[in-house]
């Protein structure tokens, strides 16, 4: 009996996912668990450091960005734009053995560069920290030490990120989606067991431990597919050269997106203690639906888009891109409405420890409301950007990123330094830049790839979301004032659940009345999930289908 359960579990974890929506469901569910653990982690940080140690918490968030940025630029610059298409092309046109040899050649070259960069970062941590922040000497020294510790995690993530890409290229989405869960468990363990002795250093130690778990959980499944990390130094390998050739535009685009975080660190370091923590907390809640519905569907779509791009099947490519974009909006719009209406209860539930004051709660809720307005466009941006990458066009997204990040920097500086809007100035600028990014991406996708014909369905779904928002506000206010004592956690949980269920029902009802086509896909997926045991064990279609946002 035990052997049978273990065998079936192995089959589930190693099953190939063949359809986009079901693969996205696998990724989204795993991301949800990981995100909930991330919220637990930040709740721990609030309870242990916000009361009197807000400055240390700000330094922790600022320190994480430095080594993570270098990892994003080098490793994710290669993997997100070029590795999967090139690796899949090798499998289709050559052989799995040659594909894995090319992958190890690329991994060796990038890991060597990452080691050199990490050594330099450890040596020059202090001038770098002083360059991006305005902290006094004690906080600056703390930031330097945290940067050095967390740099070790990025070396582990270098190997782990390759394992993720290998598994996703083979359409194995479940294990890579589970890996962030173990990462967060490691971080939580570090804070929970070590914070009393090591203070904020416990979070940095937890990140290193979590990165190790992130790697170890994926390694057996990658080896089962024939890939084992090996040192093969062949920078002249044709596939490796292709990946390095495609890297610069994507790396440049990622560097522009990282500027958003660096600007936030720089500007909040001039504000009162706790400002960066509040921005990070609001951003974490805002990123959750983007990850669940935008990143999951984009990651699930990318291998299939890459295959159709390689086969030059333009009609199928446009059809997949159109349907996936509409599915993202169908899920992300009601999520943004729920967050907008329930912003204060959500902040209180997630971060409302006794050490998190009411003024901080209100400020976080206001920042979250501004960010919620751009959840759906930003979720779609992940897919539209990958559409260009599947076509091996990394320059167009780079140009768009340059425009939008320039807009963000200018408006964030004016709203924060000239208009004195503080954290709200940064979040409003971020929301506007996300919307601008989506509009430009959509225009250029229609021009360079083909017409998506998604405008009318998006307008219809936006109208349904507006009706849902109106329908939600009144019951939320009535329940808050006359039914539940929301000073108590249990009552707050009940209020949030009831209002969320009402919102879900209202959204589905209006979608049915106005004949939103994406509702059919959701109902179809629900039927599949209802028969999940047979699907997981007997067929190749399991439920159809980055760590930067974890902190």
User: Which residues 6+ apart lie within 8 Å of 185 measured at CB?
Assistant: 37, 210, 213
Take residue 311 and report the two structure tokens written for it.
Answer: 């086969």
Alpha carbon distance 506, 43 (integer Å): 31
At residue 127, the pLDDT reads 94
pLDDT digits (tens, 9 = 90+) for 297-317: 787 777 778 777 777 778 888
User: Which residues 6+ apart lie within 8 Å of 382 measured at CB?
Assistant: 290, 294, 295, 298
Alpha carbon distance 301, 320 (integer Å): 8
Low-confidence ranges of the chain (pLDDT < 50): 1-6, 8-9, 11-13, 17, 528-545
Q: Is 248 helix (H, G, I), strand (E, B) or coil?
A: helix
Alpha carbon distance 325, 321 (integer Å): 6
pLDDT digits (tens, 9 = 90+) for 468-489: 888 888 787 787 776 766 667 7
At residue 526, the pLDDT reads 53
At residue 274, the pLDDT reads 83
What sign does the CA torsion over 83, 84, 86, 92 have?
positive
Alpha carbon distance 361, 515 (integer Å): 39
3-state SS, 454-481, equals CHHHHHHHHHHHHHHHHHHHHHHHHHHH
At residue 414, the pLDDT reads 94
Compute the chain's Rg from CA coordinates.
Answer: 23
At residue 320, the pLDDT reads 83
Is the pTM higher than 0.85? The answer reads no
Closest CA to 296 of 15, 100, 549, 87: 549
DSSP state of 363: H
- The DSSP string of 490-548 is HHHHHHHHHHHHHHHHHHHHHHHHTT-THHHHHHHHHHHHHTHHHHHHHSS-SS---GG
């Amino acid at each position: 009996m035990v052997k049978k359960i273990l065998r079936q579990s192995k089959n589930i974890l190693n099953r190939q996912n063949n359809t986009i929506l079901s693969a996205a469901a696998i990724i989204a569910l795993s991301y949800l668990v990981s995100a909930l653990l991330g919220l637990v982690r930040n709740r721990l940080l609030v309870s242990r450091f916000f009361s009197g140690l807000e400055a240390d918490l700000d330094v922790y968030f600022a320190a994480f960005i430095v080594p993570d940025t270098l990892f994003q630029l080098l490793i994710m610059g290669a993997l997100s734009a070029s590795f999967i298409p090139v690796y899949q092309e090798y499998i289709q046109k050559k052989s799995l053995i040659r594909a894995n040899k090319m992958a190890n050649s690329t991994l060796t070259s990038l890991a060597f560069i990452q080691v050199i960069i990490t050594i330099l970062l450890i040596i020059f941590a202090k001038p770098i920290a002083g360059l991006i922040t305005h902290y006094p000497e004690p906080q600056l020294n703390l930031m330097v030490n945290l940067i050095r510790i967390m740099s070790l995690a990025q070396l582990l993530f270098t190997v782990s990120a390759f394992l993720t890409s290998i598994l996703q290229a083979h359409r194995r989405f479940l294990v890579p989606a589970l890996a962030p869960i173990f990462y967060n468990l490691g971080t939580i363990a570090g804070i929970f067991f070590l914070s009393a002795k090591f203070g904020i250093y416990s979070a940095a130690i937890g990140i290193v431990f979590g990165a190790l778990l992130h790697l170890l959980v994926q390694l057996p499944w990658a080896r089962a597919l024939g890939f084992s990390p090996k040192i093969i130094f062949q920078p002249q390998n044709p596939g490796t050269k292709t990946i390095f050739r495609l890297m610069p535009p994507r790396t440049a685009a990622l560097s522009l997106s990282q500027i958003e975080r660096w600007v936030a660190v720089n500007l909040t370091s001039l504000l009162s203690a706790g400002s960066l923590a509040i921005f990070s907390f609001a951003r974490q809640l805002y990123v959750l639906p983007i990850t669940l519905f935008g990143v999951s569907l984009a990651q699930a779509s990318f291998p299939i888009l890459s295959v159709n791009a390689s086969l030059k099947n333009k009609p199928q490519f446009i059809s997949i891109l159109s349907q996936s974009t509409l599915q993202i909006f169908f899920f992300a719009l009601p999520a943004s409405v729920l967050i907008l209406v329930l912003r204060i209860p959500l902040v209180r539930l997630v971060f409302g420890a006794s050490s998190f004051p009411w003024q901080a709660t209100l400020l976080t809720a206001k920042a979250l409301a501004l960010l919620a307005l751009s959840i759906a466009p930003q979720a779609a941006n992940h897919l539209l950007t990958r559409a260009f990458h599947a076509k091996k066009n990394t320059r167009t997204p780079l140009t768009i990123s340059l425009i939008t990040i320039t807009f963000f920097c200018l408006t964030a500086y004016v709203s924060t330094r000239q208009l004195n809007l503080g954290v709200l100035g940064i979040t409003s600028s971020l929301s506007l830049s996300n919307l601008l990014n989506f509009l430009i991406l959509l225009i250029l996708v229609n021009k360079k790839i083909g017409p998506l014909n998604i405008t009318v369905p998006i307008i219809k779904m936006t109208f349904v979301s507006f009706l849902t928002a109106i329908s939600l506000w009144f019951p939320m206010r009535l329940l808050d004032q006359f039914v539940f004592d929301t000073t108590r956690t249990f009552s707050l949980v009940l209020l949030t659940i009831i209002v969320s269920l009402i919102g879900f029902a209202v959204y589905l009802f209006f979608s049915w009345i106005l004949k939103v086509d994406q509702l059919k896909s959701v109902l179809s997926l629900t039927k599949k999930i209802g028969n999940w045991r047979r699907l997981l064990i007997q067929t190749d279609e399991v439920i159809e289908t980055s760590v930067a946002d974890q902190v």
